[in-house]
Amino acid sequence: MAIPVEHIPVMLDRVLVHLEPRPGRTTAGEPRVYVDATTGLGGHAEAILVQSAPDGRLIGLDRDPAALEAAGQRLAKFGDRCRLVHADFADLPAVLERLGVPTIDGLLADLGLSSAQLGDADRGFSLQLNGPLDMRMDPTRPGTAADLLDGLGEDSLADALGRLGGERYGSRVARVLIRRRREGRLRTTIDLREAVHAALGRGRAGRIDAATRTFQALRMLVNREEETLRALLAAFPRLLRPGGRAVLLSFHSGEDRQVKHAFRELAREDSPVPMRLLTKRPERPGRADVRANPRARSVKLRAVERLGEAG
């Protein structure tokens, strides 16, 4: 995957303010280590490495091999200060253990799709481009959206559309999808969009496409996004050094709700790993951010800091 010339990382300035990557070493003389848990095309990672030079190290995870290849091209100039790993961020503790890194100074996770993923019809993420019903962030693993539709019952699909996509008419959509799949009329992303339109209509002018919520729910199911985010939120507090920070960028209400509740629990006085909220409310992108990168329009940024004397 080539790096798009127009690749602009989401809310970069605010990410750097809250993550606060910096040069120098810990009190134990070790380089500071930052993790980009969703490296994507490497825009955030590059900025973290620049701001933490010359000592700071970055470990970049992504489950998309094509994204990692593109990020590798972008970040090659940093040499051994950067280590890229093909992994799901739910496996972060195991990755760090394998690399011999007990604690980290900062964590970033951008939970959205990249423009490159959306722009590749063969990945099946876009409702505007005709492609296979795939939607896997990691195409090396089994279980496409087509497989999911073959295996789910109507009630289970309806529940997922409502819970993950916020689709009020999940039962109506699920009934049409299951019927069309059995009839062989649901093979591509355009078939999927047209099936949702048949159930709900196209939506009013100026509103989001009526199929958007269904695409979101299926993508989240295929990639187990609820479960993987829950695993990351449970694991990262003990991985941060005192003074270490975590910044998460979420793109829909369900994700943001998970992050908000987890961060609030960590900020309680009786939390086993005491944290301080750096954002009492989620930060939103400014007009300049959205103009530069329309993907940023729905993002919410939340950040926390582990309490204790910084290393």
Q: Tell me: the pLDDT tens digits for 115-163?
A: 888 899 999 999 999 999 999 999 999 999 999 999 999 999 999 999 9
Count: domains in the chain: 2
Residue-range definition of the domain harbouring residue 46: 12-116+225-306
123 in a structural domain: no
The pLDDT tens digits for 159-188 are 999 999 999 999 999 999 999 999 999 999
Cα–Cα dist 11/301, whole Å: 8
Give the CA dihedral 13, 39, 95, 264, nearest 10 degrees.
40
Find the helix or strand (DSSP H, E) in which 82 lies.
strand 82-86
Residues 269, 254 share a domain: yes
The tokens of 187 are what? 């093979």
Give the CATH number for residue 203.
Answer: 1.10.150.170
Residues 197, 160 share a domain: yes
CB 276 within 8 A of CB 307: yes
Residues 144, 74 share a domain: no
Q: pLDDT band at 309, cuts 50/70/90?
A: low
Which amino acid, residue 6? E
Listed residues 222, 243, 270: the one ending a domain: 222
6 in a structural domain: no
Q: pLDDT band at 293, cuts 50/70/90?
A: confident
Residues 160, 39 share a domain: no
Beta bridge partners of residue 209, listed in sequence order: none
Edge-first strand listing for the sheet containing 82-86: 82-86, 57-62, 33-36, 104-110, 240-250, 300-306, 275-277
Find the helix or strand (DSSP H, E) in which 277 lies.
strand 275-277
Q: Is the whole-model pTM more than 0.85?
A: yes
Alpha carbon distances (Å) from 244 to 36, 53, 306: 14, 17, 5
Residues 211, 281 share a domain: no
- The C-alpha angle with vertex 150 and arms to 148 and 155, in degrees rounded to 5, equals 80
Residues 296, 262 share a domain: yes
Cα–Cα dist 50/151, whole Å: 47
Beta bridge partners of residue 133, listed in sequence order: none
121 in a structural domain: no
